[in-house]
Amino acid sequence: MRLKIIFLIILLGGSFTLLAQRNENAIRQLLSKQTECWNKGDIEGFMQTYWQSDSLLYVGKSGVTYGWHRTLERYKKSYPDRAAMGTLQFTIIKVQQLSSKMYNVVGKWQLTRVSGNVEGHYTLLLRKINGKWLIVQDHSS
């Protein structure tokens, strides 16, 4: 009996590890999709990785922005053309599982632009909503 319990614990532990790895891979793919859309000049595509809700929270150097539409407008105002957008690169520093449906991601962003490069760091809170990972909170500095 004890051997069966040990085997079950090992089996379940492996399943949880596999699920966590799948979730982390999906989150890394989400950030890769963001980079791809940004580098094509597609801000709307970039924003598809965010929760389309008035409860979305974005914190940047200009303060707090609530809501998906307001965040989209903030991006469009801050980056009105391809030259301003430059080429985006993300460096992921840490991906941390908070629960089965919540992850925290810390990383660095870099924009390479003719008018001058800019860079900073970000913290993202992602939630699995209707089977899809979405950014529900973004603090970029």
- Lowest mean pLDDT across 7-11, 14-18, 83-87: 7-11
Return the higher-pLDDT residue of 5 and 125: 125
CA 121, CA 58: separation in Å to the nearest integer?
13
Query: Does residue 43 register a pLDDT over 80?
Result: yes
Q: Alpha-carbon distance 124 to 95, whole Å?
A: 9
Q: How far is CA 18 from CA 12, 32, 108, 127, 131, in A?
A: 10, 21, 26, 18, 17
Strands 118-129, 132-140: parallel, antiparallel or unpaired by DSSP?
Answer: antiparallel
Compute the distance between CA of residue 25 and CA of residue 71 in angstroms, rounded to an integer: 26
pLDDT number for residue 1: 65
pTM to 2 decimal places: 0.86
Sign of the dihedral defined by the CA atoms of residues 61, 34, 24, 92, in that order? negative
pLDDT band of residue 8 (cuts 50, 70, 90) is: very low
User: What is the predicted pLDDT for the residue at 15?
Assistant: 53
Domain limits for position 20: 2-140
CA distance 11 to 107: 33
Q: What is the mean pLDDT of residues 84-103?
A: 97
Tell me, what's the pLDDT at 124?
98
pLDDT in tens, 98-117: 999 999 999 999 999 999 99
What average pLDDT does this structure show over 14-41? 89
Q: Indicate the number of domains in the chain.
A: 1
For position 135, which CATH number holds?
A: 3.10.450.50
Q: Say whether pLDDT at 60 is over 70.
A: yes
- Residue of 132, 117, 135 lying closest to 72 (CA atoms): 135
Q: What is the pLDDT of residue 77?
A: 96
